[in-house]
Chains A and B, each alone.
Chain A
Amino acid sequence: MTDKPRLTALRLHKALYPIWRNDPGWKGILTTVNNNTIGGMFIMGATGMFLVGGILAMLIRAQLASPNSAFMGPEVYNQIFTMHGTIMMFLFAIPFFEALTIILLPGMLGTRDLAFPRLGAFAFWCYMIGSTSMIVALLAGVAPDGGWFMYPPLSSSAYSPGINTDIWLLGISFIEISAISAAVEIVVSVLRYRAAGMSLDKLPIFAWYMLVVAVMILTAFPPMILGSLILELERAFDMPFFQAEHGGDSLLWQHLFWLFGHPEVYIIFLPAAGVVSMILPVMARTTLLGYGWVVTAAISLAVLSFGLWVHHMFTTGIPHMGLAFFSAVSTLVAVPTGVQIFAWIGTLWKGRPELHLPMLWILGFFVTFVMGGLTGVMVAMVPFDWQAHDTYFVVAHLHYVLIGGYVFPMIAGVYYWLPVLSGRKRFFRMGETAFWLVMVGFHGTFLLLHWAGLLGMRRRVDTIEAGSGWELINLLASISGFILAIGFALVVLDVAVNAVVAVRCRRNPWNAGTLEWATPIPGPAYNVASIPVISSRYPLYDNPDLPVQIARGEGFLGTPIRNRRETLAVSVSRAEPEFIAVFPHNSIIPFAMAVVTSIVFLAPVFKWWWLMFAAAAGVTVLALCWVWQGGSRQDEGLLDAGRGLSLPTHAEVPYPPGWWGTLFLLLANSVLFGSLLFGYAFLWTVAPNWPPPAILQPGFWGPVLAIGGGAFASGGIRLADRAIRNEGASWLGLLASLAGLAGLGAGAWTIFAGTTYNAHAYDATLWVIAGYVTFHAGLAGLMVLFLTARIQAGFISARRCGDARVVQLWIDYAVLVAGLGLGAAWLPGWLP
């Protein structure tokens, strides 16, 4: 263990900066993996999308301002309202909070970067390419036009020919890769990359919220990705998942969409609640009341939100008991929401609130969100929903919840963390004017639209009839809508001007207690000069000298002796130091990978299948290059981590960060597979024209190959892992595993041979199940070959066996889904 003399803060900065900085010039933008740079670009991209979505909203209000308007025709109007919803939900709301999280989380957690910096860069580039493609489609007049939830049969090729719907299905699926990548990164970061001593009960409340939200993204998005892919398969290859005459059912889409769509509302609300829970105590000069209760409420809301999806389908003819289940959960979910609101009111009560601009926005949030919540309870009641469904009442309700419950707190957050983002504190005072314009404009627009809905005005109508009784309401709503737009434009202008030219400010101008205020502002590329040790939720209140101690390198890893990007990984629960995580350097691979991945998703829009397959091969090669760069060819043993502690690197622990990332990626993957099995069971139970004309007979060889293959694959990789840990020969285990995976694939292949992909929804579903199993067997086989190459190249040893554990996870998953999927496919044939 070395005992180097401590550096001064400036010397430490000069030592760390060259290690962590971006590449110079334009190249630096494409190769950066730094959370501050990526988060900043992400925020600008999401804000740009907010402005585009806002302009579309103004076009909608212009169209509806007067009866029988000829401002635009129905074809254009359909594209405008579809893109407004799509942009605001997928291209603004989710990316914006992810961006804020990517910037703030390392500082809050007291670590140097998020767990997978290249994955963060990949997520950003996927988002930018995907959202740019959608905007290009809008400008070219081929934007999606089937509504933001794209219900079949309207979105089927029979009623929506052309590429508009394909752009939505494939574009949104591609952009959701970005969200899932960021979610994996956030989960692993919160669980493993924290200051020492930051146990679960001392996590900043925003980190708790983001942990919950990231897990929600991993479990809510896959059903919709599956729905999008099978709807695209139906459009491209006539596989009849949603065609009633061939055993499909359009209600399957609604289930898959709302399995995503309702949790999505909470995915958007909970980060905003996290922002409120961070800002409110600081503005009230106290600490958060009921921290444990707020965490409990966040977890409860997250899980309960998965039991709400059918409340968007109350008018589809589902039996009353089914409606009652979902109505009951819809009322229940108001309880944890209320717990949070009472905790915030209690916090204000026990503190001494100051009315700064962030606080003003939070008060606006309180009023608006509570009103939206109350109308939410109204539409949760089945009889009321039957009357209000698909009217402007619902449009008004969702805008109260989404703008009041998300946009207002996020604006509060931007103003509150402006010093962290820009190093400057607000100087120009347009913000207050903007706030009041937004408040007047918002309530003037959407309070009135509740009324229009109750008078029977249906959502998505492209014009209103003269004499309908809705004319005056819509005129006033449109005038208010333009006031709202001016207010939001002023907010963007105010933030931009203050971020660029306002006076620089001292560190921690709000006198907050959490760690993101312990770093210099704006945060340097390495975020914290050393990893602190903390003992409470508000470390800066306990120890006002902590920022100086961190800057002097008095925490862990305060002496950059190895000249590489390192941070500390801790145990999940108690945050005890466990290993040193070594981060990758700047790389062009995430950008290249995003470009090539975009081709995989966009080529099918034009039916360029050869290009899609070529791009998929390119993704495979880039992924192998990506993973190959990690790890080490020699054992380093225990290294000095500072403060008298020696730790191994991440390459020399049995469960490295990559294993954790894989675990959560497989969680998302398993939800997608579970949704596929749900779809199969749903069609079998509910869809018309079942049972199918012919049932697949399992035969002898298919099951034998699958069972034998599964045993060999799973046993073989364990044999190889044991051999690696005992420094023995692993080739026998690897070979057995490879043979087993080939057997699994062959077993699945018998399903392709026994069915016709477009004959019936049954056949189409079996093709997707068999394709899923074959893909995973093939992927796991590729990983075994890759592991073999890593062993040959010297990356694997008895101490460095993490790669083998990652491959084992994938193989076990492939075996599991093969057992469940093929079993479900063959079961009807086995039954008498």
Chain B
Amino acid sequence: MKDILRLSLPLSVWIAAFSGVYGLEGVVCSDRGAGAGLGLGQGRAVLVVAWVVAIAVQVGLIFGLRTPRFASAQPWVQRVSMILACVALVATVWSLLPVVTTSLCL
């Protein structure tokens, strides 16, 4: 079962981060966010920090899955889990890139 976790963890972390950042954007742009004194500048800063943390976690997973402690004993699982971790990193960078390229709350 640990091998199934190795294969599924990086992309599961991506979907959690993706949903989290989308939810955070909803809070930043909502009347409740404005009511709590969250300005657009602070809002974007929060989103960028969340994006950077998500990328850092994915990089950590790539390194983690290479260590003897967490790597699978099966070479095939080791290779496929590493590819999936790279996919998750690319997905994190690409899908959340709009936090630095797109207008907020328009």
Give the B-binding residues of A (Cβ under 8 A): 191, 199-201, 292-293, 295-296, 299-300, 303-304, 306-307, 310, 319-322, 324-325, 328-329, 332, 336, 572-574, 681-682, 684-686, 690
Query: Which 5 pairs, one residue from A and one from B, show the smallest C-beta to C-beta distance?
Result: A324-B98, A201-B76, A303-B11, A573-B3, A321-B102
Residues of A close to B18: CB separation below 8 A:
307, 325, 329
What residue of chain B has the Cβ atom nearest to residue A192's Cβ? B1
- Distance of A299 Cα from B18 Cα, bound (Å): 17
**B29→A319 contact, CB < 8 A:** yes
- Distance of A293 Cα from B105 Cα, bound (Å): 39
Residues of A close to B25: CB separation below 8 A:
319, 321-322, 325
**A200→B74 contact, CB < 8 A:** yes
**A574→B74 contact, CB < 8 A:** yes
What residue of chain B has the Cβ atom nearest to residue A303's Cβ? B11
**B12→A325 contact, CB < 8 A:** no
Binding site of A, secondary structure by majority: helix, strand, loop or mixed? helix
**A296→B83 contact, CB < 8 A:** yes
Q: Inter-chain contact count A-B, CB under 8 Å?
A: 108
B80-106: which residues lie under 8 A (CB-CB) from chain A?
Answer: 80, 83-84, 87, 90-91, 94-99, 101-106
- Distance of A684 Cα from B29 Cα, bound (Å): 13
16 contacts between A and B (CB under 8 A): A200-B74, A201-B77, A292-B83, A303-B14, A303-B15, A304-B91, A306-B15, A307-B95, A320-B106, A321-B25, A321-B104, A325-B18, A328-B97, A573-B2, A573-B3, A573-B72
Residues of A close to B79: CB separation below 8 A:
292
- Distance of A299 Cα from B105 Cα, bound (Å): 33
**B96→A201 contact, CB < 8 A:** no
> Given A299-B11, A325-B98, are A199 and B103 also a contact pair (CB < 8 Å)?
no
Check: B49 CB closer than 8 A to any chain A CB.
no
Check: B65 CB closer than 8 A to any chain A CB.
no
Shortest C-beta distance, A673 to chain B (Å), equals 15
- Distance of A766 Cα from B73 Cα, bound (Å): 47
Partner of A324, one of B7, B19, B27, B101: B101
- Distance of A306 Cα from B18 Cα, bound (Å): 10
B21-56: which residues lie under 8 A (CB-CB) from chain A?
Answer: 21-23, 25-27, 29-30, 32-33
Shortest C-beta distance, A530 to chain B (Å), equals 26
Give the A-binding residues of B (Cβ under 8 A): 1-4, 7-8, 11-12, 14-15, 18-19, 21-23, 25-27, 29-30, 32-33, 72, 74, 76-77, 79-80, 83-84, 87, 90-91, 94-99, 101-106
What residue of chain A has the Cβ atom nearest to residue B3's Cβ? A573
Shortest C-beta distance, A655 to chain B (Å), equals 10
Residues of B close to A191: CB separation below 8 A:
1, 4
**B96→A325 contact, CB < 8 A:** yes
**B84→A328 contact, CB < 8 A:** no
What residue of chain A has the Cβ atom nearest to residue B27's Cβ? A685
What residue of chain B has the Cβ atom nearest to residue A320's Cβ? B106
Known: A201-B77, A325-B25, A328-B95. 10 other contacts (CB 8 A): A292-B79, A303-B11, A319-B25, A319-B29, A321-B102, A325-B96, A328-B96, A329-B18, A573-B2, A690-B32
**B3→A572 contact, CB < 8 A:** yes
Shortest C-beta distance, B79 to chain A (Å), equals 6
Shortest C-beta distance, B38 to chain A (Å), equals 12
> Given A319-B105, A686-B30, are A332 and B94 also a contact pair (CB < 8 Å)?
yes
Shortest C-beta distance, A395 to chain B (Å), equals 28
What residue of chain A has the Cβ atom nearest to residue B33's Cβ? A685
**A573→B77 contact, CB < 8 A:** yes
Partner of A685, one of B1, B30, B72, B106: B30
**A319→B104 contact, CB < 8 A:** yes
- Distance of A685 Cα from B28 Cα, bound (Å): 9
Residues of A close to B94: CB separation below 8 A:
328, 332
**A299→B3 contact, CB < 8 A:** no
**A324→B102 contact, CB < 8 A:** yes
- Distance of A690 Cα from B83 Cα, bound (Å): 45
**A292→B80 contact, CB < 8 A:** yes
**B106→A681 contact, CB < 8 A:** no
**A321→B4 contact, CB < 8 A:** no
Partner of A320, one of B12, B87, B102: B102
Residues of A close to B106: CB separation below 8 A:
319-321
Shortest C-beta distance, A297 to chain B (Å), equals 9
Shortest C-beta distance, B29 to chain A (Å), equals 5
**A296→B80 contact, CB < 8 A:** yes
Residues of A close to B12: CB separation below 8 A:
303
Shortest C-beta distance, A56 to chain B (Å), equals 36
Residues of B close to A574: CB separation below 8 A:
74
**A681→B99 contact, CB < 8 A:** no
- Distance of A201 Cα from B76 Cα, bound (Å): 6
- Distance of A321 Cα from B43 Cα, bound (Å): 12
Residues of A close to B2: CB separation below 8 A:
573
- Distance of A376 Cα from B13 Cα, bound (Å): 26
Residues of A close to B4: CB separation below 8 A:
191, 572-573
- Distance of A324 Cα from B47 Cα, bound (Å): 14
Residues of A close to B95: CB separation below 8 A:
307, 325, 328-329, 332
> Given A306-B15, A332-B95, are A573 and B74 also a contact pair (CB < 8 Å)?
yes
